[in-house]
Copies of this chain bind each other. A is one copy, B any other.
Amino acid sequence: MATSTVENYLKHILLLSEDAGALVPMGVLAESLAVVPGTVTTMVKALADSGLVDHRPRQGVRLTEAGSRVALSVLRKHRLVETFLVNVLKMDWSAVHAEAEQLEHAISDDVLDRLDALLGHPAVDPHGDPIPSRQGKLSSQVYATLATCAVAKPLRIVRITEQSAEFLQFAEQNGLLPGTTVRVGDRNLAAGLVSLKKAGAKTLALSLAAAGKILVEPVKS
């Protein structure tokens, strides 16, 4: 099991590499980790020995496949924990980053999966940053869902991520088809309910699970 220091190095390398595979200069990494450059050189060489990074002396460092897996897992924990802290514990936006910084190293995969389910499998965290999937995919084209989007803002439904006939019928009967514009009136995570407003129609209540299957994008107005 990687120590939390190792996890941090990998996470920072991931976040600092512009596009996948780009070399991160040692000085930049040192700055980001609030550590002197010499320390980074030492650690990075150790990480390279364990096969987690690829170290190009005097040039920089990048993640290997194995390192990338670890880094994405840590990032997933970080962002899901942030989402939990804001959506369930009603914590302040600005305070959650520091908290998550600690918790991301202490939380197990099992707990994480349950948290993910509780939150309705959000695609983005409260800041709008994409949450890597369980399989370690970090999609750049990310849609929010009705379970995770901003409230009160007008949204266009873009996709229903559920194949079952029952669910699709339910969506059709309530006019929740791709293209439709809706707004989330209120979201009560404790009760697992989302209330939805459609122009010229009465308010509709939706379970969190159902809401999580409806992808939306902000309407540019």
Contact = CB atoms under 8 A, between A and B. Distances in A.
A80 interface: no
Stoichiometry (number of copies): 2
Given A103-B106, A190-B191, A190-B192, A111 B88 contact: no
Nearest to A192: B190
A15 interface: no
Contacts of A210: none
A22 interface: no
Interface in A103-143: 103, 105-108, 110-111, 114-115, 118
B103 A91 contact: no
Contacts of A192: 190-191
Interface string A139-160: 0000000000000000000000
A186 interface: no
A107 B96 CA distance: 12
Residue from A91, A103, A106 with most neighbouring chain B CB atoms (10 Å)? A106
A89 interface: yes
A95 interface: yes
A95 B107 contact: no
Query: Lowest 4 A-B CB distances belong to which pairs?
Result: A106-B106, A89-B114, A102-B106, A191-B191
